[in-house]
Amino acid sequence: MLKILALIGDKWSILVIGQLRDRTLRFSELHRAVTGISQRMLTLTLRQLERDGLLTRTVHPSVPPRVDYALTPLGATLLDSVAALAEWATTHRQEINSNRRHYDATHSPRTQP
Amino acid sequence: MLKILALIGDKWSILVIGQLRDRTLRFSELHRAVTGISQRMLTLTLRQLERDGLLTRTVHPSVPPRVDYALTPLGATLLDSVAALAEWATTHRQEINSNRRHYDATHSPRTQP
DNA sequence: CGGTATCCGCCGGGATACTG
DNA sequence: CAGTATCCCGGCGGATACCG
């Protein structure tokens, strides 16, 4: 359970899955699409998602090599569930940011007592 | 957005919020209820959740001191959304575990070539 | 092009000790 | 009881170099 929710907590996982929402992408395209991810983390993330059956990895035996990644139906259902949570986030983002500002204003350590 | 989703990814946040679903708890009760959490992480988690307005912190000026934590309406709505995702996890947990076993069986490094 | 392999710095978080 | 304050270690992930 927590292991699966941890999947969501991993920012790279969500971002990668999000990019594959409605298209197939190859490794280098994903690398460009997901801003800031290192080659290493992209590989590791893709391996984990493939292992969980959330996406498929297709190797085309050509020169130069080409590897395509696409969401499975299971991956798509996860994306839907996460989208619901993301909707919660957007709905309440202003409220949360307001709460944070208020908290920081009233609880921040006094720099000038 | 990602900062807010990260809230979900943090296992301690979910576990703490889950404990407060339908009751108010004091610090020591939470410490006992959430298995494995350290005093430090409980404090930090509670501070963050309070800052975001997901729970309230009530100090009772008594001896010994007593501090009660309770979900806010905002916190309750988050709990509902997370529950939906948790339902996804329980629904597909068998499938995912099966996928993992299959992956490990077919892709694991050969120990005896 | 699509990866491994290796090194390494950093910081998340546990353990412990102390306080209002 | 409900926290701070320190110390300290493991492992996550970036940077870099190399390979099929």
Q: What is the pLDDT of residues A48-68, one digit of tens each?
A: 999 999 999 999 999 999 999
Kindly give the pairing relationship between strand B25-26 and strand B66-71.
antiparallel
B8–A53 CB contact, under 8 Å: no
Question: pTM for this structure?
Answer: 0.92
Strand C atom within 7 Å of A38 CB: no
Residue B12 reports pLDDT greater than 80: yes
Cβ–Cβ under 8 Å, residues B55 and B71: yes
Which CA-bearing residue is nearest the C1' of D20? A65
Strand D atom within 7 Å of A10 CB: yes
Cα B60 to Cα A60, A113, B47, B63, B67: the distances in Å are 66, 26, 17, 9, 6
Cβ neighbours of residue B107 closer than 8 Å, sequence gap 6 or more: A51
Cβ neighbours of residue B56 closer than 8 Å, sequence gap 6 or more: B50, B69, B70, B71, B72
Task: Give the model's confidence band at A112: pLDDT under 50 very low, under 70 low, under 90 confident, else very high.
Answer: very low
* The two three-digit tokens of residue A74, written as one number: 């299971």
